[in-house]
Structure 1
Amino acid sequence: MKTDQVFGISPEVREYSYVDRGNLDDEMLRMLGRTIHVAVRGPSKSGKSWLRQKVLADPITVQCRLRKPFVDIYVDALSQLNIAIQIKESRQGVFKATLSAKGEGGAALLAKVGFTGSLGRERTTLAELKHVGHDVDDLRFVADIIRASGRRLVIEDFHYMSTEDRRGFAFDLKALWDYQVFVVIIGVWSETNLLLHLNPDLAGRVTEIPIDWIRADLMRILTKGGSTLHIEFDAKVRDKLVDLSYANAGLLQALALLTLDDAG
């Protein structure tokens, strides 16, 4: 077994040194079984995404990017379900888009929600009624497709959104809850209950799980990983590594790997 298979920062879970701190895995599973959105917050490299990977199989994962409008979340999510939405024009009073299945899976999902083919729609006045269920701005249609897929929508790096887009998506979360689509939102923020600040109507509809590490759980990372490698960290080295990690599991993982590299 190589040291970098046990320790280090990785987009995938390091099973040989992964630690369930404070039974958080069970808490996350319990929250995922309820009719609520789940917001996971914590510092960078604190293990938020690893936690999600451990407890949630085959989600629709959308990665936020700087200057990416929140409406692109739905475009990305449907793309992962083999459904293409191309927005041709979107401005006040006018919306044109085409929607099509990219494969048999996408066609089957569209059939489940009672829609096949493509669409083109133009609204010339704000007062004109929408053609319900046939454009990317119709959250019920998007929600129906996600529900039909049987997969959970996960939004990673929520903090990369602009403040305006975060607020806009927070209001969409209320509508998605009404449509029985329950989302996992993961990001870095310090405010408690950020989503409630953005949209008070989410009260009772979202729970927030903070990712915090205590010293004993950080020690367990080194003990578990060391056991896999058939080594034992000296007590002074172990204490120093935990001190230098500043209660951050990712930083501890990186420090452990560097220490083993230096030790040869």
Structure 2
Amino acid sequence: MSNTKVSDVYGINRDLPLNYVPRSYADTILRESLDRSQHLVIYGSSKQGKTSLRKHNLKHDEYIVIHCSNKWTIQNIHEAILKSAGFELTISSSQTTTGKQKISASIGTAAILPFNLSSNAESESTNQNSITLEPLDLDPFDVNDIIDALNRIKFNKIIILEDFHYLPTETQKDFSFALKAFHENSKFKFIIIGVWLEENRLSVYNGDLDGRLIALNADKWDKQDLTSVIERGEELLNIEFSENFKSNLVENCFDSVFLIQEACLAACKQCNIEEKQITKTLIAENIDAKNLISNIVKSQSGRFNSFLTQFANGFQATTLEMYKWLLYPILTKEITELEKGIRLLDITRLLKSKYPKKDELNTGNITQALQSVTSLQINKNVRPIILDYDQTNLVLSIVDKSFLIWLATQNRDDLILLVGLDE
């Protein structure tokens, strides 16, 4: 019997799932972008296959990956790039013109094999087969110093920034300016991956990036591709889900590939399927797909309740309590409306009709709070993030599809009571 495990096919995997299905509107764009000079931004809701998309289309030795942190500055991004490229960093005795400490970058052993570097870092040589460098004193805030260091080791890999949305907003803005310099002063290519639904997020921070970025919406999954994910898994495991189960699963998953994967895994477990079957096996004939999805989402109730209470509290206690009131449209609008996102105009109208201190509320208060919804979630350690505000189209969106399904199963009055909007 084959040792193909159900967990290697369905469910969430660290590695690329065996039943990965290329999408013409995503994989093709990624592959074509590799031959162009622009940087690539892959965006979409959480757990929609953004990382799997790049893993499927790039060879492991073609890129380095930087996982962004919520406390990083642009200095930390630059240092992480240098370390991944093979440099060893120490604090230099020199200072920048602004009085900040420089860093000393020397060639580490990690750089020797990928870039044919000699471990002898005492002098610079032009030998065709090796490059040796003296330690470099760099300003970690200066993108030109980073470019120069990478050029010296003939670095030629794609630089991938995962979890870009977790960076502080100011760091995202700073890096959007650095990205323009990387584009104009080097041949280095970046792939930036983030959870948002706004096509030109980085261009909002720096208009000069227009034409220098390719945006790829990884959020989109049509029903045929979701069905193909299920069917590819069936082939690998020599099983067949009942047609009723498959159709109901695709119909009720809110176009979430995560829920497709998790529901198929749960169904296999219920039917005692752990690995590939010797003979074709029909399963899930008596499993209610919609109920299965509901149970998967229900297991995240603690996380969602915690999100609501923490978000409602805001960064600190304030008179206006804007973050609590931003939850009002989320907790009162129909699910079909929430799927599309809520426009600033609609939020403003709704809050002005319900807010207890109408004379103190203005559009500026609402806009300022909306622009900080991601920062607040990062501050509260909400992972993955659930809400995102599109500053271009002025739309507040739910970027965790599981939250939408969970919300549809909840008593909204109880949630309004939970966050204190009943007062």
CA change 1:256–1:100 in 2 (3 A) is: same
Q: Deviations over 1:61-113 (max 9, x none)?
A: 00011112232122112212220223467894233322212227358288589
CA change 1:105–1:22 in 2 (3 A) is: closer
1:124 maps to none
Give the C-alpha shift of residue 145 in structure 1.
4.3
Q: Which letter does structure 2 place at the counterpart of 1:117? A: E
User: How many angstroms apart in 2 are the aligned matches of 1:188 and 1:168?
Assistant: 18
Identity value in percent: 28
CA change 1:115–1:144 in 2 (3 A) is: farther
Could you tell me whether the CA contact under 8 Å between 2:43 and 2:199 is conserved in 1? no
Q: Which letter does structure 2 place at the counterpart of 1:223? A: E
SS in 2 for 1:232: strand
Give the C-alpha shift of residue 135 in structure 1.
3.3
2:117 maps to 108
Could you tell me whether the CA contact under 8 Å between 1:167 and 1:198 is conserved in 2? yes
1:196 maps to 203
Q: 2:178 aligns with which of 144, 162, 172?
A: 172
TM-score (normalizing by structure 2): 0.55
Could you tell me whether the CA contact under 8 Å between 1:9 and 1:253 is conserved in 2? yes
User: How many angstroms apart in 2 are the aligned matches of 1:63 and 1:218?
Assistant: 28
Q: Which letter does structure 2 place at the counterpart of 1:159? A: H
How many correspondences in the alignment?
A: 250
Q: Deviations over 1:172-205 (max 9, x none)?
A: 0000001222210001012221011010000110
Structure 1 segments unaligned to the other structure (5+ residues): 121-133
TM-score (normalizing by structure 1): 0.86
> 1:1-264 to 2 correspondence within 5 Å?
1-15=4-18, 17-57=19-59, 58=61, 59-87=63-91, 92-103=98-109, 105=111, 108=117, 116-119=133-136, 134-146=138-150, 148-179=154-185, 180-211=187-218, 212-264=220-272
User: How many angstroms apart in 1 are the aligned matches of 2:175 and 2:198?
Assistant: 17
Q: Deviations over 1:22-44 (max 9, x none)?
A: 35222211011100010000111
Could you tell me whether the CA contact under 8 Å between 1:75 and 1:84 is conserved in 2? no
Higher relative contact order (CA 8 A, sep 6+): 1
Q: Greater CA radius of gyration, 1 or 2?
A: 2
User: How many angstroms apart in 2 are the aligned matches of 1:166 and 1:19?
Assistant: 31
Could you tell me whether the CA contact under 8 Å between 2:96 and 2:139 is conserved in 1? no
Structure 2 segments unaligned to the other structure (5+ residues): 273-423
Could you tell me whether the CA contact under 8 Å between 2:78 and 2:141 is conserved in 1? no
